[in-house]
Amino acid sequence: MKRSYTVLGIAGSLRAASTNKGLLRCALAQAPQELLVTTADISDIPFYNADIQAHPPAVARVLEQMAKSDAFLLACPEYNYSMAPALKNILDWASRLPGNSALEGKPAGILGAGGGMGTARAQYHLRQTCVYLNLHVMNKPEFFANAFAGDFDSDGNLTSDAVIQKLKTYMTAFSQWVALHSL
C-alpha cells in the first residue's frame, strides 16, 4: 500500500486569471492519488519585514499550511528574468521560522507558464533560493509551458491535451520524487 503525502501548491502570481494558477489547478487534477494536494492563497501576504515580531494572520495561515506539508509544488511566473516577488516573499517569511521547520529538507517541484522559454530563467533563479532553504527540488523532468501559444483560455486554464499529458507525466515523476525524499 502506497503512503499518501500532503503537498502544498503555491502559485507565485496574484492575478485571478493567471496561467500559473491554471497550471497549478491542472497539476492538482493530474496528481496521482497518493499526492494530497492543496493550494495556498498568498494574495494577502504582506511584504516580509523583520521589524514585525508577530506573524500577521495571513502569514500565520500559510506558514501553518507549509509546516503541515510533506512537499511543495511551486508554480513560478517569470518577471524580468526572475521569480515573482509574491513567491519569493512567502519563502522569505517561511525561512525566518526558528529552525526553518516549514521548509527544511522537504521535496519540491517547480513548474511555470510564461513566454517563449516558459519560465526557465525564473525557475533557475528559484532553484538557487531553494538550495539555500534546503528544499530538495526535483531535477528532471523540468516543466515549462508557453502561456502565449494558445494552450490556456482567458481564465488561465490549461486547455492543450498535449501539455496536460506532459503535466501528468511530470506529476507522476513528482510523486516518485516526494516518496523518495520523504523517508
Q: Which helix (H) or strand (E) holds 58?
A: helix 57-68
Considering only CA atoms, which of 119, 111, 142, 107 is closest in space to residue 28? Answer: 111
State pLDDT tens for residues 95-109.
Answer: 987 766 789 999 999
Number of domains in the chain: 1
Is the pTM for the entire model greater than 0.75?
Answer: yes
The domain that holds 145 is classified in CATH as 3.40.50.360
Domain-located, residue 1:
no
Closest by Cα among 132, 53, 55 to 88: 132
Please check whether residue 106 lies inside any domain of the structure.
yes
Range of the domain at 142: 11-180
Q: Using one digit for the tens of pLDDT, what is the confidence trace for 76-85?
A: 999 999 999 9
In a domain, 2, yes or no: no
**Position 21 confidence tier, pLDDT thresholds 50, 70, 90:** very high
